[in-house]
Amino acid sequence: MRRMLYVTLAVIMLGSYSLSRPGYAQDPAKDNLRNEATAFLSKFMDAANRADTKTMINMFSAKPEVSLIADGYIYQGRDAIQSHTERLFGQRDRYMVQLETMSIANVNGLVLATGPYTARLRYGNHEIAFQGAVTFLMEKEGRRHWKITHLHRSTAVVQAQRY
């Protein structure tokens, strides 16, 4: 009888302990997931720097809820994202964007990649350098293909230069 009481108390204490611990919605990505996400983002940035908007758009999900938020504007759906992307990256050698070290996490099977970026915009005789932060949420479609379901970019610092 006493033994049963101790076992019951132990189970209650363990249950209370597990309820008091916060649940985590994201876990650090394992190496293979981190490598896949990094390779995908590298291809995306390469396409952006080559002004290959077709490749960029194909890397977004075709689902209607796909979204991109950029400097206070919301682009919902692939058509709106395509228009924004073509306006921004449609001219070769106009932008040069580089992702810095990204934090990559597994969020219930989705990839959450966050980190800083730097960019350079050429406009006539002027060059504007800026820094910001970016968040990508990606999901796997099929067995091999990652797609961006949400992208959020903000600009923090802008410096204009004349060359």
Residue 19 has pLDDT above 70, yes or no: no
Q: How far apart are CA 163 and CA 8, in angstroms?
A: 76
* pLDDT category of residue 135 using cuts at 50, 70 and 90: very high
Amino acid symbol at 65: E
Q: Can you give the pLDDT at residue 109?
A: 87
* pLDDT category of residue 58 using cuts at 50, 70 and 90: very high
Residue 91 has pLDDT above 80, yes or no: no
Q: Are 137 and 111 in contact (CB under 8 A)?
A: yes
| Domains in the chain, CATH or no CATH each | 26-162 (3.10.450.50)
For residue 20, give both structure tokens: 């008091």
* pLDDT category of residue 154 using cuts at 50, 70 and 90: very high
The model's pTM: 0.77
Residue 50 has pLDDT above 60, yes or no: yes
% pLDDT > 70, the chain: 77
99 versus 122: which is more confidently predicted?
99
Average per-residue pLDDT for the chain: 82
* pLDDT category of residue 141 using cuts at 50, 70 and 90: confident
Q: Can you give the pLDDT at residue 31?
A: 83
Q: How far apart are CA 160 and CA 30, in angstroms?
A: 40
